[in-house]
Amino acid sequence: MKKALLALADGTIFEGRALGYEGETVGEVVFNTAMTGYQEVLTDPSYKGQIITMTSPHIGNYGMTPEDAESRRIWAEGFIVKETSQLASNWRSRQQLQDYLHEAKIVGIEGLDTRALTRHLREHGSQQGVITHVDGDPRRVVEKAQAAPSIIGRDLATAVTCGKAYRWTEGSGEWAPPLGDKTGLGATRRWHVVAYDFGVKLNILRRLVDVGCDVTVVPASATATQVEALKPDGIFLSNGPGDPEGVPYAIEAVRQLIGRHPIFGICLGHQILGLALGLKTYKLTFGHHGANHPVMDLRTRQVEITSQNHNFAVQTIHPISAIPDRPPVVDTAFGQVVVTHLSLNDHSVEGLACADCPVFSVQYHPEASPGPHDSAYLFTEFTQLMEKRHV
Amino acid sequence: MPRRTDIKSILLIGSGPIVIGQACEFDYSGTQACKALKEEGYRVILINSNPATIMTDPELADRTYVEPITVEVVEKVIERERPDALLPTMGGQTALNATMELVKRGTLEKYGVKLIGASAEAIHKAEDREAFKHAMQRIGLRVPASGVAHNREEAIKILERIEFPVILRPSFTMGGTGGNIAYNREEFEKIVEWGLAMSPVGQLLIEESLIGWKEYELEVMRDLKDNVVIVCPIENLDPMGVHTGDSITVAPAMTLSDKEYQRMRDAGVRIMREIGVDTGGSNVQFGVDPRSGDMVVIEMNPRVSRSSALASKATGFPIAKIAAKLAVGYSLDEITDDITGVTKASFEPTIDYVVVKIPRFAFQKFRGADPTLTTQMKSVGEVMAIGRTFKESLHKAIRSLELNLNGLSSREGLDRGIPEGLDRQQALERVRQHLRTPIAERLWHVADGMRLGLSNDDLFALTKIDPWFLEQIRELMQFEALLVGQAGKKPAALEESLLWQAKELGFSDDRIAQLIGVTSASVLDQRTKTGQGRRGVTYKRVDTCAAEFEAHTPYLYSTYGSECEARPTDRKKVIILGGGPNRIGQGIEFDYCCVHAAMALREEGIESIMVNCNPETVSTDYDTSDRLYFEPLTEEDVLNIVEREQPLGVVLQFGGQTPLKLALPLSKAGVRILGTSPEAIDRAEDRERFRDLLNKLGLRQAESGMARSVDEALRIASLISYPVMVRPSYVLGGRSMQIVYDESGLLEYMGSAVKASPKHPVLIDKSGVHSGDSACSLPPYSLGQSVVEEIRRQMKALALELGVIGLMNAQFAVKDHTIYVLEVNPRGSRTVPFVSKAIGVPLAKLAMKTMVGKSLPELGLTEAPAPSHLSVKESVFPFNKFPGVDVLLGPEMKSTGEVMGIDQDFGWAFAKAQAGAGAPLPKGGTAFISVKESDRPAALEVVRQLQRLGFSVQATSGTAVYLRNHGVYAEAVNKVMEGRPHVVDHIKNGQVALVVNTVSTASSHADSLSIRREALNKGLAYYTTIRGARAAVMGIEAILKKELTIRSLQEYHHHS
């Protein structure tokens, strides 16, 4: 069994066994606490630039299947697990995790104390790290980790966005969440949504189709004018990797589009929207990566269990220290912006809505995949904004 | 939402005695609920007939009624206490059924009692098979094809639509009682009859069998704001067809992709809303077709359950406590998690370890019971283990079972490879045969199948165990082979990396040593030389969140990682060893003692450290002790903890036989044992040393003899005269004890017993009913003051001679004013909680304090309290789970639990105990009497009194003739052998209200078996001793002549 090393920029070393493609990789080491959905996590473009640690100890149990991929490939820079399964058992499984990683040339490591690593990241923050199968000198590997560029300020969206605009027509099929009367399909017509691809997860596109949208996906660099030319009923801002301040061009485009069309943003899209509205963003110590994050809708006081994956967050003027009785409001150049959702764990901003125009966004992932479907209704709310605008 | 202010007092119904399907998990949840509600300032009123529970400790509620959980009594409690609300979801099926009865009778309405937690409609919708099916169909979820029958004809009609095999599930029963799988028409009709009898509403669901589908459970919580969270997905290793309580289960689910899991989660949330469980936890079970992923809903429990206790222990999320808070109006987001202090209860735990639960069975106690695992629960206990991987966790769970297994030990002698000359084909056929039907030992047969070359596909075809689990077991087998390959090496030649890998996989030193063929000590020695030895183990915290937030509660499990989170304190500390899995002879009573020990230490300012592996218990609640190690109770695992914690000492005397077994190895390792010395324990347990002890003190021992050979046994037995009781020394709860009726029986026993315990001789005694199975009374109601005083004197002499510090239990027999010592146990015993509740003194707590240096006068206990009320303990048996098994009691303990009846009047106390145990005394009707010859004079008086109380009497011919000769008329009825109609016909037709049946010979046993079985099926009061019958007569007299009165423990003992 081939040995492997994980070195963090602060000098911490973990030894383990080589996993995946033989080689060496660099990235920001983060941990994800979801107990299911490793394939969705690996293929989520938001992990560009990052090495993912899964806290769940057994990974690969149910194998891999093309329909569970969230994009055309793995974007994560590396993969850290306690133990991969030697046998994948599931009626849908088509491939073993190990082979999947190998084919995608992903360097990984297993057999280390992932809980110790997670606790370290929690205490000392996410940081650059190197996994190597080829370099046995811990000191040198640490130096490589220290030399790696930080993700702050970097434009990672460019690396993962689509080359050119395309249409998306496929829905969730049998895996669609039960929406009850919130399917949005009672609308007067289908809506044309232009979706900015900052690293979009396919399940977002599927959900948009599910609720009655025809989707045109455009590259991150699309200008407001280019988007206007497509005559959209609504604009969607996708999730994506890295620092929202790394994509000033997108912030500018969004600023021009606010007020002209209904806009819905998720994750990086939410942060870009926040910056476009004049709010600030900041980097969290170790981010939110998991499928069990409770978020309160401050308007209804209901709690949704959400899927999250982000390292940056939108800041209001005053930090929020407790759950307020009513949604806080911030004045911006575009009128009042309401903080609609808060994290119950750390009170960070999880959702925004403009009071005066049909614009809203959430930090978390209502498309789930992986994660619970509690927030699936948000896609319907987006169609309702378009419906209102239309009528 | 803030807590409700419109209610001030809340009634909680407990689950009564421990039975199969309803064990101490309800003490765990009830205790949490009591604490939570009191904390919120509510007046808590509790009714529970089980004295061995922590929840019935007088401090836990404002009013504690240790009274039978019957509608009449609960109504009386309501009338007396006028609670504003009733929380029905904490006491299992017992509480739900009692609640539904109260609703039907209009009691709740009459007294204005609000149901909180779950409405009557929700309970009905979830529990009524038909209503549930329709509810599921309404929300578009699939349920197995099924039909509901109320009689045989309806049942047969359903067979037209559903093909064999079919599953039969009686409504409103716990643990699937009366349920089974029928493969043919004959089995079907038998199960229909049994099942209809078992359902309190005479309703039976007949269901398409999904045998072989994967089985899952979700624990779901909902609050009044309609927030819903899933606490934990659990996957059963044993596929559908085996009751989940009898299945090996694993958390989290291992073989579901996110898409499949979310589909199940969505279904769980919708079911919760559709059924309308307003607040609290529910358990939902699903089946998944491994070939297509198709999912069906199996059932839902709208209350806390065995699984919710498991999920709580598995995640650190205290479901019952939170459910209680939700019931009084809080929402999930308003409740802060104890462990992190940051996160809220509206959060789904995520875990970074694997939890394995393995059930513990007791088939050897019930000869003739069918050991096949089906839809009716048969296990009596369970263990849980936590490890970082399934493999590690499985190993830890196996050694927690207390079955003398240190791993996947071969049952075919294949541990160290395939022996020369083994008929492989024959062995393989044997293993295949074992694997075809699910049985308790299936896991070990799977391992043997692998050793003999069966592939995962072969094994899946035979067992339908998911290949993922099979592969995990295979990896362990492959590593075992690697270890066996080291055979012949000197321990010092074993490589550090190999040993480390073995530890990571959960192998104990014992097992490693066994496979390599060296001693366990040398393995540890080599691990110490090449690595860190005992200190190589790391402890991790259970924190609900996979380390995303800091854990403030030291709820720990061991693993072999790179970082230890134990962070021991430098306080004065004591380790308490728990009792391990519940089994017959070792139940909740020992856990009760351990919990009290922890409380006592806290009061003394000493840190308490609990070690236990039973997920049902209060002792394994993370806030019972200061620190909790959820670990197997083996020498290695315990010494690892001692090494890390460096306690003042270890307490063994509260956890029953499990920790007691460790006395010698622990003291050899230099660990200080607190309280009575292991030496004194040995003196009491070793039969010969015990005899010397009695001789020294001039005390009498019951007539008995010790046999080391078959000849000696035969001689002693004929001297004592048959029937005799035979047993080896050092036993727990009478394991391997047996009554033999004649010489051939004795020869057979000696053959197996000597094999079972080669070093120890066999003891031969007069036979009697095991004390754990006997009804008993405090104070003694039939002994004179002088006898009581003499027993007291002898007890004191024994305690002083043995140097007991802490608790001691002794059993005496009194015959013609002569006192015989039967046995002495210088440790906490099964009767401690009963006695504590009867006299109002927390004995276990005081005992713990004596062990850390307090004297009895300092504790204020200078004389034994003499209560003016009477307390009767009655045992509860699992016979209704084992059709065909004889219900006759003997020296081998068979009861699973106990109830207590308290009253000013002995008759009433006895009657209450009987009602609490589920066989209420009749107020009239026909009594059937059949007694052995020597009991006839005594029976005469019993019959006279019964007649005086208005009973008519039937008797078998011999007894009837005797009675008539003494001037008492009894109608003679046929024995079963004598032709029809016979006594069993009368019982079946409901013409008999009470049975008194004592027997003497092996053949008369067989004759009367069907009488006892049928009496049991009908829930009749039946007595197999004359003393029991006499007490029953007193009880009947009481219920006929005096009104029922109830009183709380607080009133009995003037606590408030």
Residues of A with Cβ-Cβ distance to B270 under 8 angstroms? 178
Yes or no, beta carbons of B563 and A291 under 8 Å apart: no
Tens digit of each residue's pLDDT (9 = 90 or more) over B324-334: 999 999 999 99
- Among candidates A115, A178, A345 on the partner chain, residue whose Cβ is nearest the Cβ of B270: A178
Residue B241 has pLDDT above 80, yes or no: yes
Are A302 and B225 inside 8 Å of each other by CB? yes
pTM attached to this predicted model: 0.95
pLDDT for position B179: 84
* A60-119 residues touching B, CB cutoff 8 A: 61-62, 65, 68, 82-83, 85-92, 112-116, 118-119
Q: Name the A residues in 175-214 with CB < 8 Å from any B CB.
A: 175, 177-178
pLDDT of residue B1055: 47
Question: Residue with structure tokens 């990789």?
Answer: A25
Neighbours of B867 (CB within 10 A): 16
List C-alpha distances in Å: B875 to B484, B732, B810, B903. Answer: 48, 17, 19, 18
Closest chain B residue to the Cα of A41, Cα to Cα: B258
pLDDT attached to residue B1005: 66
Burial class (CB in 10 A: 0-12, 13-18, 19+), A231: exposed
Q: Which residue of B has its CA nearest to A176?
A: B263
Contact flag B266-A65 (C-beta cutoff 8 Å): no
Asked if B896 and B380 touch (Cβ cutoff 8 Å), the reply is yes
Is the pLDDT confidence value at B986 over 80?
A: yes
Nearest residue on chain B to A37, alpha-carbon basis: B258
B734 has a pLDDT exceeding 80: no
Provide the pLDDT confidence category of residue B761 given band limits of 50, 70 and 90: confident
**Touching B: A residues 334-373, CB under 8 Å:** 344-346, 368-373
Count Cβ–Cβ pairs < 8 Å, chain A vs chain B.
179
Q: How distant is the Cα of B563 from the closest Cα of chain A, in angstroms?
A: 6
Contacts of A239 (CB under 8 A, 6+ apart): A44, A45, A46, A198, A199, A200, A201, A204, A266, A267, A268, A269, A309, A365
pLDDT at B715: 83
Chain A residues whose CB is inside 8 A of the B260 CB are: 90
pLDDT cut 90: percent of chain B above it: 76
The overall average pLDDT reported for chain B is 92
| CB pair distance less than 8 Å for B292 and A91 | yes
pLDDT in tens, B870-880: 999 999 999 88
Answer whether B257 sits within 8 Å of A37, measured CB to CB. Answer: yes
Query: Given this model, what pLDDT does residue B1001 score?
Result: 62
Using CB atoms, which residue from B140, B227, B350 is nearest to A303?
A: B227
DSSP B979-1041: -SSBHHHHHHTT--SEEEE---SHHHHHHHHHHHHHHHHTT-EEESSHHHHHHHHHHHHHHHH
The answer to whether the CB atoms of B388 and A345 lie below 8 A apart is: no
- pLDDT of B823 > 50? The answer is yes
Q: What is the pLDDT of residue B694?
A: 94
Residues 6+ away with beta carbon under 8 Å from B929: B939, B942, B943, B953, B954, B955, B956, B959, B963, B970, B996, B997
Nearest by CB: A90 against B255, B262, B351: B255
Beta bridge partners of B677: none
pLDDT at B347: 93
Asked if B254 lies within 8 A of A58 by C-beta distance, the reply is yes
CA distance A251 to chain B (A): 32
CA distance A60 to chain B (A): 9
Answer yes or no: is pLDDT of B433 > 70: yes
What is the 3 state secondary structure string of B751-762? HHHHHHCCCCCE
Instruction: Profile chain A (391 residues) by mean pLDDT over runs of 10 residues.
Output: 95 98 98 98 98 98 97 97 97 97 98 98 97 96 96 94 96 88 71 98 97 97 98 98 97 97 98 97 96 96 97 86 90 95 96 96 97 96 92 74
Structure-token pair, residue B398: 């196996």
The whole-number pLDDT of residue B882 equals: 87
Query: Which pLDDT does position B742 carry in this prediction?
Result: 77
* Residue B716: predicted pLDDT: 81
Task: Look at residue B756 and tell me whether its pLDDT is greater than 60.
Answer: no
CA distance B27 to chain A (A): 30
pLDDT at A256: 97
For residues A134-171, one letter each, b for 16 or more C-beta atoms within 10 angstroms of the residue's C-beta and e for the rest, the string is eeeebeebbebbeebeebeebbbbbbbbbeebeebeeb
CB-closest option in B265, B332, B549 to A372: B265
**pLDDT tens digits along A294-343:** 999 999 999 999 999 999 999 986 777 888 999 999 999 999 999 999 99
Whether the per-residue pLDDT at B1045 is higher than 60: the answer is yes
Residue B731 pLDDT greater than 70, yes or no: no
Provide the pLDDT for residue B1003: 58
pLDDT tens per residue, range B511-526: 999 999 999 999 999 9
B136, B257, B460: best to mutate for the A interface, most A CBs within 10 A:
B257
Question: What number is the average pLDDT over the span B261-286?
Answer: 95
Residue in chain B nearest A58 by alpha carbon: B389
CA atoms within 13 A on the CB side of A296: 27
Verify whether the Cβ–Cβ distance A34 to B252 is below 8 Å: no
> Could you say which residues from 9 to 68 on chain A have a Cβ atom under 8 Å away from some Cβ of chain B?
14, 31, 33-37, 39-40, 55-58, 61-62, 65, 68
In this prediction, residue B89 carries a pLDDT of 95
Closest partner residue to A55 (CB to CB) among B270, B389, B546 is B546
Active-site annotation of A, residues: 267, 365, 367
3-state secondary structure of B498: helix
CB contact under 8 A, B292 and A177: no
Q: What is the pLDDT of residues B606-634, one digit of tens each?
A: 999 999 999 999 999 999 999 999 999 99
Residue B732 confidence class, pLDDT cut points 50, 70, 90 = very low
A369 contacts on B by Cβ (under 8 Å):
258-259
What are the tens digits of pLDDT across the range B532-549? 999 999 999 999 999 999
CA distance B562 to chain A (A): 6
Q: Which of B288, B457, B468 to mutate to test the interface with A (most CBs of A within 10 A)?
A: B468
Q: Looking at residue B890, what is its pLDDT?
A: 77
pLDDT at residue B735 tops 70 = no
Mean pLDDT for the stretch of residues B97-126? 96
Contacts of B322 in chain A (CB under 8 A): none
Q: Residue range B34-63: average pLDDT?
A: 97
**Model pLDDT, residue B654:** 96
The confidence band for B1, taking pLDDT boundaries of 50, 70 and 90, is low
Residue from the list A89, A178, A296 with its beta carbon closest to the beta carbon of B266: A178
Tell me the C-alpha distance between B557 and B613, whole Å: 10
CA distance B123 to B913: 28
- Residue B723 has a pLDDT of 75
Of B253, B348, B467, the CB nearest to A292: B348
The confidence score (pLDDT) of residue B840 equals: 94
- Check residue A389 and give its pLDDT: 86
Indicate the residue type of B763: L
Q: Which residue of B216, B221, B259 is the best one to mutate when testing the A interface, meaning the one whose CB has the most A CBs within 10 A?
A: B259
* Chain A neighbors of B548, CB-CB under 8 A: 31, 33, 55, 118, 122, 290
The reply to whether A292 touches chain B by the CB within 8 Å rule is yes
Measured between CB atoms, which of A56, A61, A290 is closest to B255?
A: A61
* Min Cα separation B474/chain A (Å): 10
With contact defined as beta carbons under 8 Å apart, do B234 and B249 qualify?
yes
Query: Which chain B residues touch A69 with a CB distance below 8 Å?
Result: none
Confidence of residue B1056 (pLDDT cuts 50, 70, 90): very low
- What does the pLDDT read at residue B1006? 67
What is the DSSP annotation of B299-360? EEESS--HHHHHHHHHHS--HHHHHHHHHTT--GGGSB-TTTSSSBSSS--B-SSEEEEEEE
Across residues B192-212, what is the average pLDDT?
Answer: 87
Whether residue B562 and residue A116 make contact (CB cut-off 8 A), yes or no, is yes
